[in-house]
Chain A
Amino acid sequence: MIKVEGLSKRYARHVAVDNISFEIEKGKIVGFLGPNGAGKTTTMRILTCFMPPSSGMAEVAGFNVMDSPMEVKKRIGYLPETPPLYPEMEVGEYLQFVGKLKGLSGNDLAKRVADVSDRCNVAEVSKKLIAKLSKGYKQRVGLAQAIIHNPEVLILDEPTSGLDPKQILETRDLIKSLAGDHTIILSTHILPEVEQTCESVIIISQGHVVARDSVENLTSRLRGSETVAVEVEPRSGELDTAVVQAKLEQVAGVSRVVYRDTKAGRSHFEVESLQCRPVRAELARAVVESGWNLNELRGVNLSLEDIFLQLTNTDQAASGGAK
Chain B
Amino acid sequence: MRNILTICSKEMNSYFRSPIAYGLMAFFGLVTGWFFYIATAYFVQNSMKASMMGGGGPMNVNEYVVRPVLMNISVIGLFIIPMITMRLFAEEKRSGTIELLVTSPITDLEIILGKWLSALMMYCAILAVPVLNLMVLFAFGKPDWKPMFVGIFGLILQGGALLALGSFISNTTKNQIVAGVGTFAVCLMLWVLDWVSSFESSAWAKVISYMSVVAHYEPFSKGIIDTKDVIFYLSMIFFGLFLTARSMESLRWRS
Contact = CB atoms under 8 A, between A and B. Distances in A.
Interface stretch (B30-38, B97-105, B147-155): B97-105
Given A52-B252, A102-B104, A82 B96 contact: yes
Interface string A226-262: 0000000000000000000000000000000000000
B202 interface: no
A84 B105 contact: no
B6 A80 contact: no
A88 B12 CA distance: 12
Given A85-B97, A86-B14, A88-B17, A50 B103 contact: yes
Contacts of A89: 10, 13-14
B105 A73 contact: yes
Chain A's interface: helix, strand, loop or mixed, by majority?
A: loop
B6 A50 contact: no
Interface stretch (A26-34, A93-101, A116-124, A300-308): A93-101
A86 to B, nearest CB: 6
B106 interface: yes
A12 B105 contact: no
Interface string A40-59: 00000100111110000000
A101 B6 contact: yes
A78 B6 contact: no
Interface in A87-143: 87-89, 93, 97-98, 100-103, 105
Contacts of B97: 84-86
B149 to A, nearest CB: 35
Bin chain A's interface residue count.
20 to 34
B45 interface: no
Given A50-B103, A78-B103, A86-B14, A101 B252 contact: no
B252 A100 contact: no
A200 interface: no
Contacts of A87: 95
Contacts of A93: 13
A197 interface: no
A100 B107 CA distance: 14
Contacts of B255: 11, 51
A48 B10 CA distance: 23
Nearest to B107: A70
User: Which of A49, A52, A101, A105 has the most chain B CB within a 10 Å cutoff?
Assistant: A101
B99 A88 contact: no
A78 B102 CA distance: 11
A209 to B, nearest CB: 23
Interface of A: 11-12, 45, 48-52, 70, 73-74, 76, 78, 80-82, 84-89, 93, 97-98, 100-103, 105, 145
Given A70-B105, A78-B99, 9 more contacts: A48-B103, A51-B255, A52-B253, A73-B105, A86-B14, A88-B17, A101-B100, A103-B105, A105-B2
8 contacts: A50-B102, A73-B103, A84-B96, A85-B97, A88-B13, A89-B14, A98-B100, A102-B105
Interface of B: 2-3, 6, 10, 13-14, 17-18, 95-107, 252-255
